Structure formats: structure tokens, C-alpha cells
Amino acid sequence: MPAEVEPICPTFMLNKCTHCDARGSGVCEAVPEDGLTRLSAAATALSFEPAQRFITEGDKAEHFFVINAGTAKLLKMLPDGRQQIVSFCGPGDFLGLSVFSLYSYGAEAVEPVRLCRFSRFTLRCLMTDFPAMERRLLKSATFELTLAQEQMLLLGRKNARERLASFLIARARATGTCPARGRPAVPPQVALPMNRTDIGDFLGLRIETVSRTMTALKTDGIIEILPRCGVIIRDFDALESLAACI
């Protein structure tokens, strides 16, 4: 099903990781230059179209993934079909860690996704040989945990308006559209590759509520809704205070 983007070709693989877009941002940055050959050989490059699933919740967790390009969503489902998106992932993000042997969430491409797949065994070997990689993974997991806790605060205690505001500001910061701290110089244009349903499933809201709340923010002059999946933040301060100090 998934397209093998590049054939397993040692000569090509030799410097694949050195030219990777995610080199320097993801966990792979922890592997020193002289280990890249091994890293390249261990990786299987794959690509997925929107809505294609590459992790099924509950399946045996045999692989790890590092996103090179595009956006994916991680989601958990209830038996009756309700679903919660626990994270949107982009370039450099690492997926697939689990304490038990089963994936605790599913993963689907939102935008076209390119990623590298590693076997559980391979990663274990790499971690043993490159302790910096394990340290990098711990840092990554800790960061994810911090985000998850922030999201719990959002889901448990914020109203629809505050949730949307938090989401837009988090997106603007995560995509580098505006600085991590302080206010941006120009109105940030935030890309939203996911549809309204996905935003709702991430924020614990129904699609209608997302739509209504977006319209309300627009009406108040806080944001501008772009025709093709995006918004411009017109009043950053207002949005930030709505987000209630994310």
C-alpha cells in the first residue's frame, strides 16, 4: 500500500540522511556524522497520501517513524467511533514509542507525508551505540508530555473560544510563523493543513462549534479566515489573552 519512495540502494543510502530535511531537527540529529551510513541503511523511506493510515491503534508495535515532510495526526478511538486526536506531527517528529508491545494510537497522513521507518530492533541497537540518541529521545518524550499536559488543561478547563485561540497560537509557534516568546512583528499567517473535523477532534469540539467559533473570532476582528485552509492573526494580543496564557 505505502509507496516505497526510494529503492533500498546502499550507494544512494550512503548519504541520504546527510541530505534529509529532518536532519538537524529530529532524533536523527543525535547520530554523529560517522553513524549516518548505518542510520541510512536502517531506514526505509515511505510516503503516504492524505487520509492514508500508517499506524493502526492496537497493532503490534514493530516500527518507529521519523517524519521528514508533511503533517500527520495521531488519534485514539472509542468503540462507538468517537475519536480524539492527541497530536499533529510534522518534520522531525518521532512516533511509535510504547511501553507495551502495542501501538496506543493510530496515525494518518493529513498532508502528503514522507517518513523514515525503523524496526524496533534496529532502534534499540542504534540507541546502544549512540547514547546521545537515547538522550534525544528522552528529551523528545519529555517535550511531548509537556504538550500533552498543556492539552489536558485545554480539554478539561477551557471553553470553545479559548480552545481555538490556544490552538491557533500553538500552531503559529510550532510552525515558526511567530516567535516562541513575545509577539510577532507582522500578522502571522497560520497554515491549517487539517480540516474542521480534525480541528474539532483535536480540541474536543464538534465541527459545528469549531466553525461557529472561527466565525465569531473573525467577526470580532481577531483573525482573518483564508479561503484555503489558513488564517491570519490580526489581533495577536487579543488571541493570546483568550488562549489564557498557553
Partner DNA sequence: CGTGCTTTTGAAAATCATCAAGTATAGTGG
Partner DNA sequence: CCACTATACTTGATGATTTTCAAAAGCACG
Q: Which is nearer to DNA, 84 or 119 (CB)?
A: 84
- CB atoms under 10 Å from CB of 119, counted, come to 14
Stretch that binds DNA, among 61-69, 136-144, 182-190, 227-235 (CB under 7 A): 227-235
CB of 226 to a second copy, least distance (A): 26
Name which position in 75, 214, 222, 239 contacts DNA (CB under 7 A).
214
> What are the backbone angles phi and psi of residue 63, rounded to the nearest 5°?
-130, 160
What is the distance between the alpha carbons of residues 135 and 28, in angstroms, rounded to a whole number? 12
- CB atoms under 10 Å from CB of 71, counted, come to 22
- CB atoms under 10 Å from CB of 43, counted, come to 24
> What are the backbone angles phi and psi of residue 102, rounded to the nearest 5°?
-115, 150
How many residues form the binding site for a second copy (CB under 8 A)? 43
Stretch that binds DNA, among 20-28, 91-99, 142-150, 195-203 (CB under 7 A): 195-203
What is the distance between the alpha carbons of residues 194 and 203, in angstroms, rounded to a whole number? 13
Q: Where are the beta strands (DSSP E) in 91-226?
A: 94-95, 106-109, 113-119, 189-191, 223-226
Q: Is 173 in the site for DNA (CB under 7 A)?
A: no
CB of 14 to a second copy, least distance (A): 29
Q: Is 56 in the site for a second copy (CB under 8 A)?
A: no
Q: Is 84 in the site for DNA (CB under 7 A)?
A: no
The bridge status of strand 189-191 relative to strand 72-77 is unpaired
Q: Is 207 in the site for DNA (CB under 7 A)?
A: yes
Name which position in 7, 79, 176, 182 contacts a second copy (CB under 8 A).
79
**Which residues bind to a second copy, rule: CB under 8 A?**
74, 76, 78-80, 82-84, 86-87, 97-100, 104-105, 131, 134-135, 137-139, 141-146, 148-153, 155-158, 201, 203-204, 244-245
